[in-house]
């Protein structure tokens, strides 16, 4: 099992550009989520999904969109990148939700100039 | 709203010394608490959870509902324990996992 995979590992964008961060898992997990990690602020939940076709907002959803067309994939879209979105982004999945072990991807380091 | 506080951003101890990473939470119901760890160049991974009441890599954590704390302890720190540690809280009502800001532990030789 590859577990949770994320691409790309690094990305530099200019303000206003859009891009999609990819996340995939091969563990047949229903729950998937996106976090951003900023110094001194820990991990903050952006969006999450409890199954294919079902998504919901987390703590900091503004400027991001998600979709969940399959169990395996949960892409995160930045619609118009801003410097405030410079961060490290982590995707996570779990079998049965928030009380279950979360499996994290390796992260994507995004810089917005 | 639920909140997790880790008061120490940085913590340094010498090898063989005891270590305690503090975690306090605010939540009115019955929380589920976790410690996650991120070693250098590795993924964030679960270290332990309070309902398991187990010891992982020599670490233990006891949920103290009176003090709303879930401190992580190890009697004799090792250099390989150097990592970023996150305390996290899960509650069904909030439908999310809330992380603290993390503590960077450095174990000195």
DSSP string spanning B55-104? -BTTBEE--BTTTTB--EEESS--GGG-EEEEEEEEETTTTEEEE---EE
What per-residue confidence (pLDDT) applies to A81? 96
- Tell me, yes or no, if A34 comes closer than 8 A to chain B by beta carbon: no
Query: Nearest 5°: phi and psi at A39?
Result: -55, 130
Cβ count within 10 A of residue A41? 14
Q: Which of B31, B91, B96 to mutate against chain A (most A CBs within 10 Å)?
A: B96
Assess whether pLDDT exceeds 70 at residue B109.
yes
User: Of B43, B92, B99, which is closest to A43 when you measure between CB atoms?
Assistant: B99
- Tell me, yes or no, if A32 comes closer than 8 A to chain B by beta carbon: no
Sheet holding B19-21, edge to edge: B19-21, B72-74, B60-61
pLDDT average, residue stretch B81-105 = 88
Range of lowest pLDDT (A95-99, B86-90, B98-102): A95-99
Range of lowest pLDDT (A96-100, A104-108, B33-37): A96-100
- Tell me, yes or no, if B7 comes closer than 8 A to chain A by beta carbon: no
pLDDT tens digit sequence for A13-50: 999 999 999 999 999 999 999 999 998 888 999 999 99
pLDDT tens digit sequence for A58-88: 999 999 999 999 999 999 999 999 999 999 9
What per-residue confidence (pLDDT) applies to A99? 81
pLDDT average, residue stretch A84-109 = 93
Question: Cβ–Cβ of B92/A98 closer than 8 Å?
Answer: yes
What per-residue confidence (pLDDT) applies to A70? 96
How many angstroms separate the CA of residue B4 from the nearest CA in chain A? Answer: 10
What per-residue confidence (pLDDT) applies to A47? 96
Query: Residue B92's pLDDT band (boundaries 50, 70, 90)?
Result: low
Query: Residue A1's pLDDT band (boundaries 50, 70, 90)?
Result: confident
Task: Show which of residues 27-86 on chain B sit within 8 Å of chain A, judged by CB atoms.
Answer: 32, 36, 43-46, 49, 86
Assess whether pLDDT exceeds 70 at residue B94.
no
Burial A93-105 (b: 16+ CB within 10 A, else e): bbeebbbbebbbb
- DSSP class of residue B4? E
Q: How many residues does chain A have?
A: 113
- Calpha distance B88→B34 (Å, rounded): 5
The helix/strand/coil state of A23 is: strand
What per-residue confidence (pLDDT) applies to B1? 75
The helix/strand/coil state of B51 is: helix
CB burial of residue A107 (10 Å; 0-12, 13-18, 19+): buried
Enumerate the residues of chain A whose CB falls inside 8 A of the CB of residue B6: 42
Query: Residue B21's pLDDT band (boundaries 50, 70, 90)?
Result: very high
- Tell me, yes or no, if B108 comes closer than 8 A to chain A by beta carbon: no
Task: Show which of residues 63-102 on chain A sit within 8 Å of chain B, judged by CB atoms.
Answer: 90, 92, 98-99, 101-102
- Tell me, yes or no, if A51 comes closer than 8 A to chain B by beta carbon: no
Question: Is the dihedral angle over the CA atoms A66, A93, A2, B85 positive or is it negative?
Answer: positive
pLDDT average, residue stretch B52-71 = 89
What per-residue confidence (pLDDT) applies to A83? 96
């Amino acid at each position: 099992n590859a577990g949770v995979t994320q691409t790309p590992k690094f990305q530099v964008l200019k303000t206003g550009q859009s891009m999609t961060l990819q996340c995939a898992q091969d563990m047949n997990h229903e729950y998937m989520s996106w976090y951003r990690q900023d110094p001194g602020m820990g991990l903050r939940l952006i969006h999450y999904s409890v199954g294919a076709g079902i998504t919901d907002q987390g703590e900091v959803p503004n400027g991001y969109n998600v979709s969940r067309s399959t169990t395996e994939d949960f892409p995160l879209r930045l619609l118009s990148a801003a410097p405030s979105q410079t961060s490290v982004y982590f995707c996570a999945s779990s079998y049965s939700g928030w009380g279950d072990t979360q499996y994290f991807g390796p992260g994507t380091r995004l810089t917005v100039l | 709203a639920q909140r997790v506080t880790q008061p120490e951003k940085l913590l340094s101890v010498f090898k063989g010394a005891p270590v305690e990473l503090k975690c306090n939470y605010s939540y009115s119901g019955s929380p589920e608490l976790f410690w996650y760890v991120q070693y250098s160049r590795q993924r964030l991974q679960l270290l332990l959870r309070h309902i398991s009441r187990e010891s992982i890599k020599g670490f233990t954590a006891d949920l103290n509902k009176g003090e709303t704390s879930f401190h992580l302890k190890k009697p004799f720190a090792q250099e390989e324990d150097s990592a970023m540690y996150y305390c996290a809280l899960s509650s069904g009502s909030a439908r999310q996992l809330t992380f603290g800001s993390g503590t960077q532990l450095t174990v000195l030789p």
